[in-house]
A = this chain, B = another copy of it.
Amino acid sequence: MADEQEARPDLAAMMVPVGRALVAAELPILREHGLSMWAYAVLLGLKEEPVRTQSALAKAIGADKTRIIGDLDDLQERGLIRRTPDPADRRARLLSLTPEGRRLRDAARAAIRLREERLLARLPAADRRAFLRALRTLSELPLDEIAGDPAADG
């Protein structure tokens, strides 16, 4: 039934290479702003309110807690984030953006957005809106709801 028309590559086979290319497009922009990919993810992950532990931040941005330590050190030395010991639990460090960190994050994000808009301009306006809406819906699902065992959730 409509085999011919339904034929399309696997979702992963389309998403993964495009995702990789998008990362490749971001890297030189981030480099111009003096940021690694993970450093940028950290700045984005801190949002507006402080985060209570490095582990929580790491988890939120999909990194290992050991992975981001070097980036945190660097960002702190450059005055882009604050890392203050929590008085209530001296094991933990309260993480927050400095004004300069916020500015750099916004500048990098704006440059990336500009680049993305040029790519998205290739899509018809209606498709483009639906694409972003759908992508956002999928990316907001718990990841193990996509990856998890189908037998587990019926």
Contact = CB atoms under 8 A, between A and B. Distances in A.
Interface of A: 8-26, 28, 41, 44, 62, 109, 112-113, 115-116, 118-120, 122-123, 126-128, 130-139, 141, 143-144, 146-150
B10 A113 contact: yes
Contacts of A15: 15, 18-19, 22, 135, 139
Contacts of A22: 10-12, 15-16, 146-147
Given A123-B134, A123-B138, A127-B137, 11 more contacts: A10-B112, A13-B139, A14-B136, A16-B22, A18-B143, A18-B146, A21-B147, A28-B149, A115-B150, A118-B150, A119-B138
Contacts of A126: 130
B130 A21 contact: no
Contact of A130 (B18, B44, B131): B131
A139 B17 contact: yes
A96 to B, nearest CB: 20
Nearest to A133: B127
28 contacts: A8-B136, A9-B139, A10-B22, A10-B26, A10-B44, A10-B109, A10-B112, A10-B113, A10-B116, A11-B120, A12-B25, A13-B41, A13-B44, A13-B139, A14-B136, A15-B15, A16-B19, A18-B138, A18-B143, A19-B19, A21-B143, A21-B146, A22-B146, A25-B147, A119-B138, A122-B141, A123-B134, A130-B130
